A and B are shown apart, each in its own frame.
Chain A
Amino acid sequence: MTAPSTITERVAAALPPSATPLALIDPDGHPVVNPLLTMPPDDVLAELYRLMVIGRRVDAQATALTRQGRLAVYPSAHGQEACQVGTVLALREQDWLFPTYRDTMAVLTREVEPAEALSLLRGEWHCGYDPYERRVAPQCTPLATSTLHAVGVARAAQVKQEDQAALVLLGDGATSEGDTHEALNFAAVWRAPVIFFVQNNGYAISVPLAKQTAAPALAYKGVGYGVRSVLIDGNDAAAVYAAVQSALAHAAAGHGPTLIEALTYRVEAHTNADDAARYRDDAEVQAWLARDPLARLEACLRGRGLLDDAAVARLGAEAEQRATALREAMSGELDVPPADLFEHVYARPTRTLAAERDFLLDELASHRGAEEGGS
């Protein structure tokens, strides 16, 4: 496609998002006819469900591990399973995922080893996995800064003429940060193969969406930059998967970025250290539980004859195994070599860092000596 050359064509390329969120499955599990999204095939629907069941169970296990002191902190994605799983399942092997701290479920769905994925939240190391192994960037904790990294990765793919895209996860709060706007603009100007996937879960820690923005929808923030922008039901895994696939096809065809706003809800507090009762009513939580993404997909699959009680039991057992594996992976004591402090600051330690490393190791040796001498 050639670049739109007139205002009229540019407007056509950047239509505002739909007035209501696009969905393929309604909250009761019934299929919705939607000309803009394609219902995934049955095997994909079944796989989405399987991974969401596992995701929710492992997420609950991680929260439990914080209570046992095995994890320092854990921001739960309970309620956001359709987004966490739907995005990752739609990505191809060569694509990059840019997760935030709340997206551990997505990282695990991308098959990063649990012990490595949880290194950050365990307090072991900032990023425990090799980003190149599964093309998963380190979990972003400042938020929004990673949107620019995703655009850069996508731009590099363009420069190298490789068929590769980047999907960056961000939340409603991050859409207020300047980097998000710079990233949308750079991506649009460069027609970079990047997908901005906004999980609008209603809250940035305690601040509700109404205090975050006056935009009619967060998806509108893409329109002004000339970014194709869509609003979807983020608790509909089929819609998430289809929207990401559509965005990947859009990018692969050379048309550039897509912004997807997915409406969802953070069922748990911000983290285990947060008290959500201080800023939201239980009635609101209950209303969203009625729109549960797992129950919806389960009803859909049962309605299509793709799921029965026996299969649900099998999946439950599989999820339990994953939770057990996570528990076991987190059961040992941390053993981080103190010299690691200095190892990776530069490609090779500077003279100053080498001296500081020796100082620390000597100090530790003398402490050990004193303890041994004193016993």
Chain B
Amino acid sequence: MSTTLEHPVPAAPAGGREPAPADGGQSAATGPGTQPVTMAGALNAAMADALAEDPRVLVFGEDVGTLGGVFRVTDGLASRFGEGRVFDTPLAESGIVGTAIGMAMNGLVPVVEMQFDAFAYPAFEQMSSHLAKLRNRTKGRVSLPIVVRIPYGGGIGGVEHHCDASEAYYAHTPGLQVVTPGSPADAYHLLRQSIACPDPVIFLEPKRRYWSKEPVPAAPDAELDQAVIRRPGKDVTLIAYGGMVGTALEAAAAAAGEGWDAEVVDLRSLSPFDDATVADSVRRTGRAVVVHEASGFAGYGAEVAARLTEQCFHFLEAPILRVTGFDVPYPPPSLEQHHLPSVDRILDAVARLQWDDHA
């Protein structure tokens, strides 16, 4: 399903982050340490460390071997660990996930890549009917410790089928864990935790953050299924994940200038959902805005808003608002800036949280 029509490493959007170097922004895999690494590099290091520690771990998918992936996230892994453990597959996503299931049944730990969000759809039956259900089908006798890595979301000027925020499909499927890192620091540990998880994990990688850089701490700041408060605040909770965590943090910084002290919660784990951390935050602040790139209708934010309403109703000072992509197919690069949630839209939503009523 993947095409070779697009430039494999899209340039960063104008006025945005630094453009991607030709090697995808990384050299040798570097994990935890004081040196800043890109998210792509942190993910690379996580796989390298997992491959080195556990002979059962395999990495495979389209172009992940010799080329090192179209985003170079698997750069150097095939030459370091050999083509027996890091290899290219035929171009067929159902085949990649389906054979990963068989390999896991027979004792291996596959980490597979779907090249782009929308190219994962041919594998959807394997993920929803088998990856998600085999443990339950067999009363827990068959575990599938598989990680399906999916570069997802927009903001990189990608053409059609390269920018979908497809998290809701997976989050709606019992039996899957769905996680997404918001930063390089978290990416390393979240992927290590996902590979160690006995259950299948859909690991969504926000493409727009592949080239952001920061040091990776030695230890994770949360478990695989926990949300983390990235910025404490007392007036309003901004709830975001993946590519929108950075945007929410920017919005929080801007909001401070307008007198709002915003707390930012990075969900990390979309399924299961960390009710405790998020509800605790919203009970403290009394206001919440959920931010995601995907379309709003029946989107992930609807679940978040519903749960928080059920759990925090008497603490709320205003309805929970959502800032999401429009309910349209993902737009061409010329229009994507109108579609994606922005700092301004988040600030506008914060402004609509009925402050005057309680001033």
- Chain A residues with CB under 8 Å of chain B are 96, 125-127, 130-132, 137-138, 142, 145, 147-157, 159-160, 166, 178-179, 182-183, 185-186, 189, 340, 343-347, 350-352
Q: A344-B136, A345-B136, A346-B175 are in contact. Are A153 and B103 (CB under 8 A)?
A: yes
- Chain B residues with CB under 8 Å of chain A are 58, 84-85, 89-90, 92, 94-95, 97-108, 122, 125-126, 129-130, 133-143, 174-175, 177, 197-199, 225, 272-273, 275-276
Interface of A is mostly: helix
**Chain B: which residue is nearest A160 at the CB level?**
B107
Nearest first, the 6 A-B pairs at minimum CB distance are A152-B102, A148-B98, A156-B106, A182-B95, A152-B99, A350-B272
Contact across chains for B103 and A142 when beta carbons are under 8 A apart: no
Q: Assuming A145-B125, A149-B99, A344-B135, what are 10 further A-B pairs, CB within 8 angstroms?
A: A148-B98, A149-B102, A152-B100, A155-B99, A159-B84, A159-B108, A178-B94, A179-B95, A347-B197, A350-B272
Contact across chains for B90 and A345 when beta carbons are under 8 A apart: no
Contact across chains for B142 and A131 when beta carbons are under 8 A apart: yes
Instruction: Please tell me which one of the listed residues A126, A152, A159, A350 contacts residue B137 in the complex, with CB atoms under 8 A apart.
Output: A126
Contact across chains for B98 and A179 when beta carbons are under 8 A apart: yes
Task: Determine the chain B residues whose CB is within 8 A of the CB of A189 once the complex forms.
Answer: 90
Q: A152-B103, A351-B275 are in contact. Are A142 and B108 (CB under 8 A)?
A: no
Instruction: Please tell me which one of the listed residues A155, A156, A179, A340 contacts residue B94 in the complex, with CB atoms under 8 A apart.
Output: A179
Task: Determine the chain B residues whose CB is within 8 A of the CB of A125 once the complex forms.
Answer: 139
Of the A-B pairs whose beta carbons lie under 8 Å apart in the complex, a sample of 22, sorted by A's number, is: A96-B106, A126-B133, A130-B141, A137-B105, A145-B126, A145-B130, A149-B130, A152-B98, A152-B100, A159-B84, A159-B103, A178-B94, A179-B125, A182-B95, A183-B95, A183-B99, A185-B95, A186-B90, A343-B139, A344-B135, A347-B199, A352-B275
A365 to B134: give the CA distance in the assembly, Å.
Answer: 30
Q: A131-B141, A152-B99 are in contact. Are A182 and B107 (CB under 8 A)?
A: no
A183 to B273: give the CA distance in the assembly, Å.
Answer: 35
A340 to B137: give the CA distance in the assembly, Å.
Answer: 11
Contact across chains for B102 and A155 when beta carbons are under 8 A apart: yes
Contact across chains for A183 and B98 when beta carbons are under 8 A apart: yes
Task: Determine the chain B residues whose CB is within 8 A of the CB of A157 once the complex forms.
Answer: 106
Contact across chains for A346 and B90 when beta carbons are under 8 A apart: no
Contact across chains for B105 and A153 when beta carbons are under 8 A apart: yes
Contact across chains for A151 and B138 when beta carbons are under 8 A apart: no
Contact across chains for A132 and B136 when beta carbons are under 8 A apart: no
Q: Looking at the assembled complex, report how far the CB atom of B330 sits from the nearest CB atom of chain A, in whole angstroms.
A: 25
Contact across chains for A345 and B137 when beta carbons are under 8 A apart: no
Contact across chains for B141 and A126 when beta carbons are under 8 A apart: no
Contact across chains for A185 and B102 when beta carbons are under 8 A apart: no
Instruction: Please tell me which one of the listed residues A132, A154, A160, A344 contacts residue B139 in the complex, with CB atoms under 8 A apart.
Output: A344
Q: Looking at the assembled complex, report how far the CB atom of B63 sits from the nearest CB atom of chain A, in whole angstroms.
A: 15
Q: A166-B102, A186-B90, A351-B275 are in contact. Are A148 and B95 (CB under 8 A)?
A: yes
